[in-house]
Amino acid sequence: MKSKQDHITYWIEQADDDWEAVETLYAGKKYLQSLFFTHLVIEKICKSLWIKYNDGNIPPRTHNLIYILSETEIELSETESEFLLNLNRFQLEGRYPDYMTKMYKICNKDFTKTMIDKAKNLKICLLKNLQ
């Protein structure tokens, strides 16, 4: 039977793999796709934190980053909450073709780079809570 730490490690390893995809997709100018994977990275880290702060080892089956973290002891700043709210859009909108046209207009190189940089900083902060 897997321990709590085994479950946390699983989610973190998956997030690390997905971060490589973020970088590859960004380098390949696949900006919307890189933001979809950026959301996945943060989601998986949030799920590892959920496991740390809850009795169970199976996090909720949701992609809503703010909801997942609301069930932990992590306190977000207003800026972090706003960023997660913005990042949540790429999980949903990155999946549906009718939204993709609109999102392609937003997801230029500079916008995507800014989002990835913010996610990288948040990723570091969230991971510190696992130590």
Superfamily of domain 4-128: Nucleotidyltransferases  domain 2 (1.20.120.330)
The pLDDT value recorded for residue 91 is: 87
From first to last of its 131 residues, what are the pLDDT tens digits of the chain? Answer: 999 999 999 999 999 999 999 999 999 999 999 999 999 999 999 999 999 999 999 999 999 999 999 999 999 999 999 999 999 999 865 567 777 778 888 899 999 999 999 999 999 999 999 98
Residue 48 carries which side chain, given as an amino acid letter?
A: S
The pLDDT value recorded for residue 85 is: 96
Which pTM was predicted? 0.94
The pLDDT value recorded for residue 107 is: 93
The pLDDT value recorded for residue 26 is: 98
- Sequence ranges of the domains in the chain: 4-128
User: Residue 107 has which token pair?
Assistant: 């997801």
The pLDDT value recorded for residue 97 is: 72
